[in-house]
Amino acid sequence: MTPKYIWLAHFVGLFMTCILSQDCNLLKVHLSTVTWQNLKILNEMSNSIPIECLREIQDFKLPKEIQPEKTSIKYIFYEMFTQAINIFSQNTSNSTWDKEQLVQFQNKLYEQIEYLQQCLNKENKEKEDMKEVKADEKEHSGAEVLWQSQLKLRRYFSRIYNFLKDKKYSRCAWEIVRVEIRRCFHYFETFTKS
């Protein structure tokens, strides 16, 4: 590849997320792209888990029974990104991460939260406009399924929160949490393909 094309590819990577963050119709493509970028930062933030921390690994039981459909994917991602930014805003002084990387990660998460919030507001507005339309039975059950998914997701994140608290935000605890969040992002990213 000629230097010209390398430059173009790099620029395109940045450009795609910038441009796509303005349009909610391209939500899935956008979510896929930004999740990969987040995963990249999570990888670069640290070297692999130190051996002494392997003892403390625990199963947080990622709720794989959640299968977000097209309509509910933005809720799931909104919840996921909000919880991720919450977790990483706790006391990270014991971690050995590059502060710049951490800030960049939080920055990215915030950007996506804003974007999803804007898309959710738009959707709520549309729903309000359509209030006269008779509510579908399917919609109700869909809403119930969404509730269940959100609750499962919250239970998962509260397990992570409690783990951090119990381990007093130690370095090992942070490393384990970092890897777990990476797993979580990776799992839900697969649903942006369908």
Partner 1 sequence: MLTLLRATTLVLVAGAPGLLPAVAGEKNLKPPENIEVYITDDNSTLEWNSSDGTVGNVTFSAVYQTPEMDDWIKLPGCQHTAGTKCYFSLPDLDVYEELQLRIRTEKGNDTSSWSEVYSFIPFKKAQIGPPKVHLAAEDKAITIYISPPGTEDNVMWSLDEKAFTYRLVMWKNSSNIEERIETVHPGGKIYKLSPETTYCLKVRAELLMYSKIGIYSPVCCINTTVENKLPPPENLEISANNESYILKWDYAYVNVTFQVQWLHGFLKVISGTSLHKWEQIPNCEHIKITYCVFLRKLLPKGIYYLRVQASNGNSTSFWSQEKKLNTAIYTIIPPPVISMKPVNDSLRVYVNAPEVPLIYEISFWENNSNTERKYQGGKTDFTIANLQPLTVYCVKARAHFVSESWNKSSIFSDIVCEKTKPGNSYKSWVIAGICIAAVFIVVIIYIMKNLLRCFNYVFFPSLKPPSNIDKYLSEQPLKNLLLLTTEEQIERCSIIENTNTNTIMKETNQIDEDHKRYNSQTSQDSGNYSNEDENTGSKASEELLQLETGSPETNS
Examine residue 110 and tell whether it contacts partner 1 (CB under 8 A).
yes
Whether the CB-CB separation of 153 and 77 falls below 8 Å is answered with: no
Examine residue 155 and tell whether it contacts partner 1 (CB under 8 A).
yes
Residue type present at position 99: K
DSSP H helices, the chain, are 3-20, 27-44, 73-88, 99-129, 137-166, 171-189
SS3 49: coil
Examine residue 8 and tell whether it contacts partner 1 (CB under 8 A).
yes
Examine residue 173 and tell whether it contacts partner 1 (CB under 8 A).
no
Whether the CB-CB separation of 73 and 31 falls below 8 Å is answered with: yes
Examine residue 107 and tell whether it contacts partner 1 (CB under 8 A).
yes
Examine residue 150 and tell whether it contacts partner 1 (CB under 8 A).
yes
- 8-26 b/e with 16+ CB inside 10 Å = b? eeeeeeeebbeebbeebee
Residues 60, 157, 185, 191: which binds partner 1 (CB under 8 A)?
157
Residues 53, 113, 164, 179: which binds partner 1 (CB under 8 A)?
113
Residues 41, 56, 63, 154: which binds partner 1 (CB under 8 A)?
154
Q: If 0-12 CB within 10 Å is exposed, 13-18 middle and 19+ buried, where does residue 49 land? A: middle
Examine residue 103 and tell whether it contacts partner 1 (CB under 8 A).
yes
- Residue number, 124 or 194, with CB nearest to partner 1: 124
Whether the CB-CB separation of 183 and 107 falls below 8 Å is answered with: no
- Residue number, 114 or 139, with CB nearest to partner 1: 114
Residues near partner 1, by CB under 8 A: 4-5, 8, 11-12, 14-23, 26, 75, 78-79, 82-83, 85-86, 89, 103-104, 106-111, 113-114, 120-121, 124, 147, 150-152, 154-155, 157-158, 161
